[in-house]
Amino acid sequence: MRCSSGKIQYDSQQLAEDALIDQHIYKGFAAHEGPQNVYECRDCGYWHMTSKNAERLPRLQEMQDSGEMRKKQQASHWERRF
Ligand SMILES: [Zn+2]
């Protein structure tokens, strides 16, 4: 069943969080750009990403604070050049 929100559906919070982190890595988002957190949808019961008015996902915040996100983004950028 597709969701009326038109958003991508994830089976679990874990999968949605992983996908969110991946997007930040591969798309090279700045901290405030792109999806910020995940939520369980009342319409379809699956999980979606959200960008607006969301508190930042703690896992994402930690990766940004520690510099891990920047390292992963740079590694990803480097890999794509070859
Ligand atoms: Zn939904």
Query: What are 17-28's pLDDT values in tens digits?
Result: 999 999 999 999
* CA dist., res. 20 & res. 4, Å (int): 20
Q: Residues 36-67: pLDDT tens digits?
A: 999 999 999 999 999 877 899 999 999 999 99
72 C-alpha vs ligand 1 centroid, how far in Å?
30
- For residue 78, count other CB atoms closer than 10 A to its CB: 9
What pTM does this model have?
Answer: 0.89
Q: Which residues contact 65 (CB under 8 A, 6 or more apart)?
A: none
81 C-alpha vs ligand 1 centroid, how far in Å?
36
Break the chain into its structural domains and give their ranges.
13-73
- Within a 13 Å sphere around the CA of 28, how many CA atoms are in the beta-carbon half? 7
49 C-alpha vs ligand 1 centroid, how far in Å?
10
